[in-house]
């Protein structure tokens, strides 16, 4: 009886040992199972502005060698800076095959009053493998937020009635009407009757203005129905470039060549009169000198005769 009991205990020990090994192997296999992960993402529009909606497209890939099922995808931000524009910010996928990729689209909104920086968005994936084991994986992406960019160009003035070939000074104001700073602001003047010229202004904070002051040279008169423009270029905090272009009016007068001809004739006439007067004076002096000499000789001769 004792031997039978001993054999029974051995069988129980062996069974427990086998179950422990199987359980351990199962745990190790589960731990080594590849993840379902976010491999790429896109945002539309590419510049997300505080207070406006955008579309987030996530590329999800099952890197495991087996399919997964009952996948729940959730998007979360740390303090509600990036919110679902509709729904609860979750998507359900019944099955994802091994090595399969899938694009999931979320309609999102950037909260109002955000700072101009990148905000973290957490992508939480919950799913099961074919054996019913549950997995939870989190991926983080960063969405850069920009502030509204708006500007106006005012008080544009140029010198009145400049002549062809002269320098002309153009002034004005660039006003920042948006919420964010305008970075690396520069202004370029170009057109059909002025040469191209660029001036750097710098950064303009929200609610402030920058001065435009450009000196360029006139190249054609307004008789050619000329068109000129002023282009303002600037960047946001992420370095994305913007530009605003406006037409400007510059009055360039042609040179009056008829006046030059008259002036030339006048100068030539004046020169001839001067020459004539000079010659007349010289001739008169010569005559006076000759007469004086003759008078002196006659007087001397009379004195000698007495």
Parent domain of 166: 151-253
Q: Does residue 162 share a domain with residue 60?
A: no
Average pLDDT, the chain: 83
Total count of domains within the chain: 2
Q: Does residue 140 share a domain with residue 37?
A: yes
Q: Is the pLDDT of residue 35 over 50?
A: yes
8 A C-beta contact, residue 144 and residue 128: no
Q: Does residue 181 share a domain with residue 98?
A: no
Q: Does residue 166 share a domain with residue 95?
A: no
Q: Does residue 176 share a domain with residue 112?
A: no
Q: Does residue 166 share a domain with residue 89?
A: no
Q: Does residue 232 share a domain with residue 211?
A: yes
Q: Does residue 172 share a domain with residue 125?
A: no
Q: Does residue 169 share a domain with residue 142?
A: no
Among residues 207, 212, 215, 230, the alpha carbon closest in space to that of 174 is found at 212
Encoded tokens for 89: 């910010």
DSSP 56-92: EEEEEEE-SSS-EEEEEEEEEESSSSEEESSS-SEEE
The mean per-residue pLDDT over the stretch 229-233 comes to: 94
pLDDT band at 165 (very low <50, low <70, confident <90, very high): confident
CATH number of the domain at 97, please: 2.60.40.10
- DSSP class of residue 114 equals -
Backbone angles phi, psi at 150, to 5 degrees: -145, 140
Tell me: the pLDDT tens digits for 44-77?
998 899 999 999 999 999 998 899 999 999 999 9
Q: What is the bridge-based pairing of β-strands 101-110 and 53-62?
A: antiparallel
Last residue in a domain, options 227, 253, 279: 253
Is pLDDT larger for residue 270 or for residue 36? 36
The mean per-residue pLDDT over the stretch 95-115 comes to: 94
Residue 258 forms part of a structural domain: no
Q: How far apart are CA 115 and CA 237, in angstroms?
A: 11
Q: Does residue 164 share a domain with residue 189?
A: yes
Residue 21 forms part of a structural domain: no
Tell me: the pLDDT tens digits for 254-266?
776 665 555 455 5
pTM as predicted: 0.60
């Amino acid at each position: 009886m004792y031997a039978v009991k001993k054999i029974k205990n051995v069988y129980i020990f062996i069974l427990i040992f086998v179950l422990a090994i199987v359980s351990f192997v199962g745990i190790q296999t589960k731990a080594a199972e590849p993840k379902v992960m976010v491999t790429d993402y896109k945002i539309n529009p590419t510049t997300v502005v505080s207070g406006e909606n955008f579309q987030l497209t996530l590329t999800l890939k099952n890197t495991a060698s087996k399919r997964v099922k009952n996948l729940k995808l959730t998007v979360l931000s740390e303090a509600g800076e990036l919110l679902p524009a509709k729904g609860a910010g979750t998507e359900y996928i019944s099955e994802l095959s091994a090595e399969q990729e899938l694009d999931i689209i979320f309609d999102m909104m950037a909260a109002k009053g955000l700072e101009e920086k990148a905000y973290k968005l957490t992508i939480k994936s919950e799913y099961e493998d074919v054996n019913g084991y549950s997995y939870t994986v989190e991926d983080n992406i960063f969405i850069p937020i920009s502030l509204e960019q708006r500007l106006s160009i005012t008080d544009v003035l140029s010198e009145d009635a400049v002549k062809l070939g002269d320098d002309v000074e153009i002034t004005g104001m660039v006003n920042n009407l948006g919420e964010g700073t305008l970075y690396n602001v520069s202004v370029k003047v170009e057109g059909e009757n002025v040469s191209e010229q660029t001036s750097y202004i710098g950064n303009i904070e929200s609610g402030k203005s920058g001065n435009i002051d450009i000196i360029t040279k006139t190249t054609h008169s307004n008789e050619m129905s000329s068109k000129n423009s002023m282009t303002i270029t600037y960047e946001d905090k992420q370095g994305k470039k913007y530009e605003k272009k406006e037409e400007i009016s510059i009055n360039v007068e042609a040179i009056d060549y008829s006046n030059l001809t008259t002036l030339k004739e006048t100068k030539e006439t004046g020169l001839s009169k001067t020459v004539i007067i000079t010659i007349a004076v010289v001739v008169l002096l010569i005559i006076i000198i000759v007469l004086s000499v003759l008078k002196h000789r006659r007087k001397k001769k009379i004195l000698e005769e007495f």
